[in-house]
Amino acid sequence: MSENIQNTQEQEVRSLPRIGSKAPAFEAVTTIGTLKLEDYKGSWLVLFSHPADFTPVCTTEFMAFQEIYPQLREMNTELLGLSIDSVHSHIAWVRNIEEKFGVKIEFPIIADLNKDVAHKYGMIMPEESSTEASRAVFIIDDKQVVRAIIYYPLSTGRNMDEILRVIKALQTTDKHNIATPANWKEGDKVIVPPSPTQEGAEERMKDENLECVDFYFCKKQL
């Protein structure tokens, strides 16, 4: 019996997507109809799960996600929520949020009653809860590759500024072939990847457009 439980948990861990892997395909019932992952091809996607409808932390998060939705759309990024609740529960909850807090939720929410998507994305942490999804965030790029994964426990609401920052950093990396340092924000200097050759490293130290502390640590302003 305990072996079975262990096997099941190992399978769930194995199904967790990794950064750089293709995002697992899905077809799911949502508050706007049936959606497939491939419907988002060409735009970035924040796929996030929440434990349950009509709960306080999730309500604050939903209002916060809605608040950044216009900024995300300016960054060619869509939002898609998920919980193990029914479509009718989702509809009742978003109506309640609008009625009680004056915030209209405009992004779709997956009704993952059979936990199909939650299992594919490893959103359930059995040690924390086997009936609710944890607070997972998958940032999927326009080619449907997983680019970042963030997990929060049930008790801690997510930070929207960090989600915006990660997407901006990833898109800046893609556009300019650079990396971003700790606490980077748009407008800050970026990291130039170290040269893989000695000759390149020596040339880099002479480059007046770069601020180099040493060959492996060069920054520039975009």
Partner 1 sequence: MACIDDKGNLTATAKKILTAVKDQSLTAEDVANEAGLPLFKVRSSLRDMASMGFVFQNGDSYQLNEKAEKLLNRGS
Among 19, 21, 42, 54, binds partner 1 (CB under 8 A): 42
**Cα distance between the two ends of the chain:** 58
Backbone angles phi, psi at 208, to 5 degrees: -75, -15
Per CB under 8 A, 74 contacts partner 1: no
Backbone angles phi, psi at 124, to 5 degrees: -100, 125
Name the minimum Å distance from CB 69 to partner 1: 11
Per CB under 8 A, 125 contacts partner 1: no
Per CB under 8 A, 61 contacts partner 1: no
Q: Is 58 an active-site residue?
A: yes
- What stretch of H or E contains 71? helix 56-74
Per CB under 8 A, 162 contacts partner 1: no
Round to whole Å and give the CA distance between 18 and 145: 9
The catalytically annotated residue of 58, 110, 139, 140 is 58
The stretches of 75-190 forming alpha helices (DSSP H) are: 87-101, 116-120, 160-176
Among 13, 19, 25, 32, binds partner 1 (CB under 8 A): 32
Tokens of 66: 């809605």
Which range, of 30-38, 60-68, 162-170, 208-216, touches partner 1 by CB under 8 A?
Answer: 30-38
Amino acid identity, position 38: E
Tokens of 132: 């609710």
Name the minimum Å distance from CB 13 to partner 1: 30
- Residues with a catalytic annotation lie at 58
Residues within the interface to partner 1 (CB under 8 A): 32-36, 38-40, 42-43, 73, 78
